Amino acid sequence: MAATAPPIKLYTNHACPWAQRAEIILAELNIPHEQEIIDLATPRTAEYLAINPRGLVPSLAYGDEIITESGIVAQFIADLHGPSHLLPAANDPNGALKRARINFFVDTFVSKVNPSLGKLQMALPGTDLDAAAQALVESAAKELEPLLADAAPFFGGSDKPTLAEVQTGSFIIRLFELPKAGLIADFHDDIKAKAPAFYRWASAVAEIPSVKSTYANDLVVAGITRKRAQLAAQQAKA
């Protein structure tokens, strides 16, 4: 008789893009699990700090084991339930190469493009956002456009989402939804003109069901609005 798989419990917060990474992969692979919401607006409880001393989300309980850090959590789930459309086996023909390409793409997105999106989200009222928006467009054109030349519509020529989309989807959907809420400028025309492959790929990513279903727009908007108010209050006191 096959051994029963350990239960999975995800400690998450629906307004956090890093935690949404874990939610996306669990939804994409239709993995049963329990969730516990961690309030990021209040000090962490002693109980949660015993689970994750850093106090961050996501944390994943796999039986008696705890896995932390969003990228590691997503990679663990992909490996645990692989190979799948998200990620080939490392010993498959070209599997190691595909994994390396995905990892490089995700690292490039997080290190070169995502910081500009963060600056746009946390900008104080009255801040000139042109520089941050231009930096995002230019970095997408320079760093990501060449890596998406064969997207069809997803990374590496795949017609299904890969781990590249899982690891970036929570940020991409904000790029499309936050302008609708008036929280960041709509500079999509500039992206279309300067990074067309990136824009086509990002448009497809924003429509992935597992990305859309795990994105809590009202909570995201409320969280960004609250954080901006806190930053404005701190600036006024300085």
Model pLDDT, residue 3: 64
> For the chain, what's the residue count?
238
Say how far apart CA 8 and CA 6 lie, in whole Å.
7
Model pLDDT, residue 1: 41
DSSP assignment letter at 159: S
Three-state DSSP state, 61: strand
Mean pLDDT in the chain?
93
Model pLDDT, residue 126: 65
Say how far apart CA 154 and CA 192 lie, in whole Å.
17
Please, which residues bridge with residue 62 across strands?
8, 65
Low-confidence stretches of the chain (pLDDT < 70) are: 1-3, 125-128
HSE-up of 39 (CA within 13 Å, CB side)? 6
Structural domains in the chain plus CATH codes: 8-12+19-41+49-81 (3.40.30.10), 95-236 (1.20.1050.10)
Sign of CA dihedral 188, 148, 169, 108: negative
Asked whether the beta carbons of 79 and 87 are under 8 A apart, the reply is: yes
pTM of the model: 0.94
